[in-house]
Amino acid sequence: MSLIIGPAFTIPGYLTTVLAECEAMVYDADVVVGHPAFWCCYVEGPLNAFPESQAAFEVSTDEREAMWAFLFDRDRWPAVSVRLDAEAWLRIVFRNVEGDGGLDFVEERPGQPTKVFDLYGDAGCSTLTWAELKGMADLPDDRLTWAQRLILMLPMLEEQELPADVGEVLDRALAEIGAVNRPAVLEILLDSLGWASDER
C-alpha cells in the first residue's frame, strides 16, 4: 500500500492554537479514499464499529496500522475533501494535536464564516438530518461516489428517528466501499449512536 500525502493548504478561518492562534496547515489526503484500509479505519474509528469493521474489510493488520499512522501524523494533518457545490467544500480534517486530537468537519464557503463540527467535542455547525445527508451524498461529483460521500459525512448525522429504509441504504453504501461482512457493522451503525428507525 503506497500512501503519498498531497500538497499543504490552509482553510480560511480554520484556526489552530498549537503554538499561537493561526490558520492550521492541512494536507490533501484525498488519495486515501482509494484504499480499503481507509474505510476499515473510518468505520472503526469515527463510526465506532470496532471490532466489526476489521472483519468487514479484507485488509491486513499491517495495512490497517499503516493507514492509522498516516491519518494520525502530528506533523501533517490529513484532510479529505468533499465538494458541496461549485465553490463550497467540506474538509474532513484529522486534527492531530497531542492531548486535543479530534476529527473536524470544516465547511468552507467563499464569503461566509467557516463552520466547524468537532466529532469529539462541541458542535460548531449544524449536524445533518437523514434527508440532508442523502441529498448531499447524491450531489454530482467527479471525484467521489455517492457511497463514499455518504459514509464520509455519516458522522455528522444527528440523533433522530430514521426512515424504515435506512438499513438498506447504509448496506448498499457499505457494499460499494468494499465491506463484505456487513450485517454486524450495520447493526453497530444503527445502534451505537442511539439512532432509531420507524421500522427495523
Which tens digit of pLDDT belongs to each residue from 81-103? 999 998 999 999 999 988 878 89
Does pLDDT of 16 surpass 70? no
CA distance 139 to 142: 10
Does pLDDT of 19 surpass 50? no
Residues linked to residue 78 through DSSP beta bridges, in sequence order: 27
The predicted structure's pLDDT at residue 125: 53
The mean predicted confidence, pLDDT, of the chain is: 88
The predicted structure's pLDDT at residue 18: 45
Instruction: Cell 490552509: give the residue.
Output: 10
Write 169-177 long-range contacts (CB < 8 A, 24+): 169/134, 172/147, 173/146, 173/147, 174/43, 174/56, 174/147, 175/147, 176/145, 176/146, 176/147, 176/148, 177/39, 177/147, 177/148, 177/151
Average pLDDT over residues 140-144: 95
The predicted structure's pLDDT at residue 132: 93
The predicted structure's pLDDT at residue 161: 82
- pLDDT confidence bin for 195, thresholds 50/70/90: low
Does pLDDT of 162 surpass 90? no
Does residue 113 or residue 146 have the better pLDDT? 146
Does pLDDT of 20 surpass 60? no
Among 15-19, 65-69, 190-194, the least confident range: 15-19
In this prediction the pTM is 0.91
Does pLDDT of 160 surpass 90? no
Does pLDDT of 64 surpass 80? yes
The predicted structure's pLDDT at residue 198: 47
